Structure 1
Amino acid sequence: MVRLNTLIPELTVSDISRSLYFYLNILSFELEYERKENKFAMLSLEDSQIMIEERNGNWETGNLIYPFGRGINFQIVVNNIDKLYTNVEVHDYPIKIELEENWYRANNKLLGQKEFLIMDPDGYLLRFAQNIGEREIAMDNI
């Protein structure tokens, strides 16, 4: 039985076959299960899970035009970002923001990540990140 996270985004996609190819082959997600009759799939990558379903009129709250998911990016934490990044490059898939190191303040700490961003075939913004540590910062620098 698949262990389900308590929050799992479900993305409406325009072409389930194209999206499955992207997520399974370019990003190395695993197919947990699918309902082909509903053009639906449950996918996972390490501890992250998403559901994708071909557009069918259900769940739509407004006009759905490309790029889908405006105003949101999904951070997906991985253990080996360099391997994933190389696989995206090998497939010659467009990279929105190249692999870089960033540090983000969380109260009195800096949390480090190596990260890059791409858009899936329907324009959902995906930010892949690998944690690289944390640093203390002086409270007077905040």
Structure 2
Amino acid sequence: MEWAPLTPELLVTDYQKSFSFYVETLDFTAEYTREDPLFAYLSVEGAQLMIEERTGSEWWVTSEINHPYGRGVNFQITVDAIDPYANRLKNDGYQLFKGIQEEWYQVDEGESGNRQFLIQDPDGYLLRFMEHIGTR
């Protein structure tokens, strides 16, 4: 695995629940884990993120954290195909925050197309799974 130059670290309230969501439901790979504090470095199709159970002693927390976590940000995860991820989520009883849709975004003098959906993880962090569908 090649380390990503930017890897978000998400504080979570229930490590086991979050680990299960990412690894068992979304098929992320646990590249490595730690026990104290509970931590995992996760990857899927080249995307990487870290989860760590919140202990209250994190020096980088700038103010009070309330659910849903990560308000105002979403993490785009580019994958080859989004349907397998959406199907796994639905099969495990998760409701998509925003269902599968096609979007076209202005890029230079053309447009880049994506199929995408949004899902909240157990703490409310918003994940946007996206597959590229072409340019025009």
> What is the TM-score when the length of structure 2 is the normalising length?
0.95
Q: 1:38 is paired with a residue of what secondary structure?
A: coil
Q: CA deviation at 1:89?
A: 1.0
Superposed counterparts of 1:1-142, under 5 Å: 2-56=1-55, 57-58=57-58, 59-135=60-136
Find the aligned partners of 2:110 and 2:51 in 1 and give their Cα distance: 35
Find the aligned partners of 1:19 and 1:69 in 2 and give their Cα distance: 14
**Any stretches of 5+ residues in structure 1 without a counterpart?**
136-142
Give runs of ≥4 in structure 1 deviating > 6 Å: none
| Cα RMSD for the two superposed structures | 0.9
Amino acid at match of 1:38: P
> What is the TM-score when the length of structure 1 is the normalising length?
0.91
**Any stretches of 5+ residues in structure 2 without a counterpart?**
none
Between the two proteins, the alignment pairs up a number of residues equal to 134
Q: CA deviation at 1:83?
A: 1.0
Structure having the larger proportion of residues in helix:
1
Find the aligned partners of 1:21 and 1:83 in 2 and give their Cα distance: 17
Q: CA deviation at 1:37?
A: 2.3
- Percent identical: 43
Find the aligned partners of 2:21 and 2:88 in 1 and give their Cα distance: 11
Please say which structure displays the higher CA radius of gyration. 1
Find the aligned partners of 1:3 and 1:106 in 2 and give their Cα distance: 27
Q: CA deviation at 1:107?
A: 2.0
CA deviation vs aligned residue, 1:121-142 (integer Å, no higher than 9, x gap): 001010000000111xxxxxxx
